[in-house]
C-alpha cells in the first residue's frame, strides 16, 4: 500500500475570476476588467499547498466530466498529488464558483454551485484510503462522508485537521473526531452564539476536546487555543491582489506544520505568511509559495497586528 504524509477529503471547485475596478453598489452596474478560469476549492487547494511544501499527498473527492472538471484534474495531476480515489462523475458538472474581485482592495465575493451528482457518500470511504496517511484533512460539506473518514482516522490514531466556515447539519458528529479545528472568523460565533472569539473557541474546545481550536482572522492574522493558552499571530503585510484561496493555503501550511511538529506560534506564523503570499497573485493557487519565500517574508517582519487580540492573548 502506498503511504502518504497527508490525505484530504473534501471539496474542489473551478473558479471564474471576474476582476472589477471596484465592487458596484447594490443593484448597480460596472464593467469588469477581465475574466479568468482558475482551479480552486477548499481541500483540493490545501492539498496542492501541501504538495508545494514537499509533502506526499493524496486527494479524495469527486469531479465532474465537463471542461471545469478537466481543468481541475489537470491542475491536481500537475501538482503531483495521488488521485487514485478521485471519482469522475459522468454527465455531471464540476463545482463552480464565480468570484468577484474588487481590484481596489483585493477582497472577493463568491457565488458558488455544487450539484448533488458530486456528493461523496460515506460508503465510498474505505478504511485503507485513510489509514495510508499520517494526517487527514477534511472540510464539512459532505458531512456523513467526512464523519466516516474522521472516525476511521481517530480509530487508527491519525490526527485530523478540519477547515470549516459554516454550519453543516450533523457536523456535531464530526467534531468529536477532530484534533485540530481551524475555522473562519464567523464559525465560532455561529456555533456558540458567543460574540467573544476567545470564549467561543474555549467553549468549543471544552465541549469536544480537540487538541487545538483555532480561527483565521483575515487581515488580522490568526488565533489558536492549545493547552489552555491562546496564541495570536498577526498578519503579514503584502500587496494584496486577490484574497481567494488564502484560507485554503493557510490550512495546507497548518497541516505541514503539524506533521513537522512545529510549536503553535511558528505554525501560525508560517501559515499566515504562506496565506499572505498567495494573495499577491490572482486565483486560489495563484501565489502558492514555498518555505524559502515564506521565511523571507517572515524575516522582514512587516505585520498588521490587532491590538485587542494581542492584548487578550497575552493575558
Q: What's the whole-number mean pLDDT along residues 184-211?
A: 96
Helices (H) and strands (E) counted in the chain, each on its own, are 10, 15
What per-residue confidence (pLDDT) applies to 1? 76
Residue 315 pLDDT grade (very low, low, confident, very high; cuts 50, 70, 90): confident
**pLDDT tops 90 at residue 179:** yes
Upper half-sphere CA count for residue 303 (Cβ side, 13 Å) = 19
Residues contacting 267, CB < 8 A, separation 6+: 224, 254, 257, 258
Q: Which three cell numbers stand for residue 66?
A: 465537463
**In what side-by-side order are the strands of the sheet with 4-9?**
86-89, 57-64, 4-9, 133-138, 160-164, 180-183, 212-216, 222-226, 229-233
Q: What is the pLDDT of residues 39-75, one digit of tens each?
A: 999 999 999 999 999 999 999 999 999 999 999 999 9
Q: Is residue 300 over pLDDT 90? A: no
**Helix boundaries (H) for 79-160:** 127-131, 143-155
- Of 124-138, 148-162, 296-310, give the lowest mean pLDDT range: 296-310
Summarize pLDDT for 231-254 with one digit per residue, the tens.
999 999 999 999 999 999 999 999
Nine-digit cell string for 54: 514537499
**Residue 145 has which C-alpha cell?**
462522508
For residue 190, the model assigns a pLDDT of 95
4-13+41-92+119-314 is classed CATH 3.40.640.10? no
Is the pLDDT at 38 greater than 90, yes or no?
yes
Check whether 189 has a pLDDT greater than 90.
yes
According to the model, what pLDDT value does residue 212 have? Answer: 98
Question: Which residue bears the cell 495531476?
Answer: 77
> What's the CA gap between 219 and 187, in Å, rounded?
17
For 172-180, what is the mean pLDDT? 98
Find out whether 177 and 147 touch, Cβ atoms under 8 Å.
Answer: yes
Q: Which of 280, 258, 77, 248 is nearest to 163 (CA)?
A: 248
Tell me the mean pLDDT in the region 289-307: 92
CA 267 from chain center: how many Å? Answer: 15
User: How do residues 203-233 score in pLDDT, each as one tens digit?
Assistant: 999 999 999 999 999 999 999 999 999 999 9
Note the pLDDT of residue 77.
97
Average pLDDT over residues 13-28: 93
d(CA 47, CA 53): 10
Q: How far apart are CA 298 and CA 236, in angstroms?
A: 8
* pLDDT of 301: 72
Query: 89-137, pLDDT tens digit by residue?
Result: 999 999 999 999 999 998 989 999 999 999 999 999 999 999 999 999 9
Report pTM. 0.95
The C-alpha atoms of residue 100 and residue 244 are separated, in whole angstroms, by 10
Cβ atoms within 10 A of the Cβ of 25, count?
8
pLDDT at 140 over 90: yes
Q: Are strands 229-233 and 235-236 parallel, antiparallel or unpaired?
A: unpaired
- Residue (of 215, 205, 89) closest to 164 by Cα position: 215
Arithmetic mean of pLDDT, 195-205: 97
Mean of per-residue pLDDT scores for the chain: 96
The closest of 238, 251, 231 to 304, measured between CA atoms, is 238
Domains of the chain, residue spans: 4-13+41-92+119-314
| Residue 146 half-sphere exposure toward CB, CA atoms < 13 A | 32
Of the candidates 29, 47, 83, the one whose C-alpha atom is nearest the C-alpha of residue 245 is 47
Q: Could you tell me if 250 and 272 are in contact, meaning their C-beta atoms sit under 8 angstroms apart?
A: yes
pLDDT band of residue 302 (cuts 50, 70, 90) is confident
Amino acid at each position: 500500500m502506498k503511504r502518504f504524509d497527508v490525505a484530504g477529503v473534501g471539496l474542489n471547485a473551478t473558479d471564474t475570476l471576474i476582476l472589477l475596478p471596484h465592487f458596484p453598489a447594490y443593484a448597480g452596474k460596472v464593467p469588469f476588467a477581465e475574466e479568468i478560469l482558475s482551479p480552486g476549492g477548499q481541500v483540493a487547494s490545501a492539498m496542492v499547498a501541501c504538495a508545494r511544501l514537499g509533502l506526499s499527498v493524496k486527494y479524495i473527492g469527486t469531479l465532474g466530466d465537463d471542461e471545469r472538471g478537466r481543468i481541475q484534474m489537470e491542475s491536481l495531476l500537475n501538482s503531483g498529488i495521488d488521485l487514485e480515489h478521485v471519482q469522475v462523475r459522468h454527465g455531471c458538472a464540476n463545482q463552480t464558483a464565480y468570484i468577484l474581485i474588487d481590484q481596489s482592495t483585493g477582497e472577493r465575493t463568491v457565488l458558488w454551485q455544487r450539484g448533488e451528482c458530486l456528493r461523496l457518500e460515506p460508503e465510498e470511504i474505505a478504511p485503507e484510503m485513510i489509514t495510508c496517511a499520517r494526517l487527514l484533512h477534511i472540510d464539512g460539506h459532505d458531512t456523513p462522508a467526512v464523519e466516516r473518514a474522521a472516525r476511521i482516522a481517530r480509530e487508527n490514531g491519525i490526527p485530523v485537521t478540519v477547515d470549516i466556515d459554516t454550519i453543516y447539519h450533523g457536523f456535531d458528529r464530526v467534531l468529536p473526531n477532530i484534533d485540530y479545528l481551524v475555522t473562519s472568523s464567523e464559525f465560532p460565533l455561529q456555533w456558540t452564539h458567543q460574540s467573544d472569539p476567545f470564549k467561543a473557541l474555549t467553549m468549543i474546545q471544552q465541549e469536544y476536546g480537540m487538541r487545538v481550536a483555532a480561527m483565521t482572522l483575515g487581515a488580522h492574522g490568526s488565533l489558536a487555543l492549545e493547552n489552555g493558552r491562546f496564541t495570536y499571530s498577526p498578519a503579514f503585510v503584502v500587496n494584496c491582489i486577490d484574497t481567494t484561496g488564502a484560507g485554503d493555503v493557510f490550512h495546507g501550511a497548518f497541516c505541514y506544520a503539524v506533521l513537522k511538529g512545529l510549536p503553535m506560534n511558528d505554525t501560525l506564523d508560517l501559515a499566515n505568511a504562506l496565506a499572505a503570499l498567495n494573495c499577491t497573485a490572482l486565483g486560489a493557487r495563484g501565489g502558492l509559495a514555498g518555505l524559502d519565500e515564506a521565511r523571507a517574508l517572515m524575516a522582514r517582519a512587516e505585520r498588521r497586528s490587532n491590538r485587542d487580540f494581542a492584548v487578550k492573548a497575552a493575558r
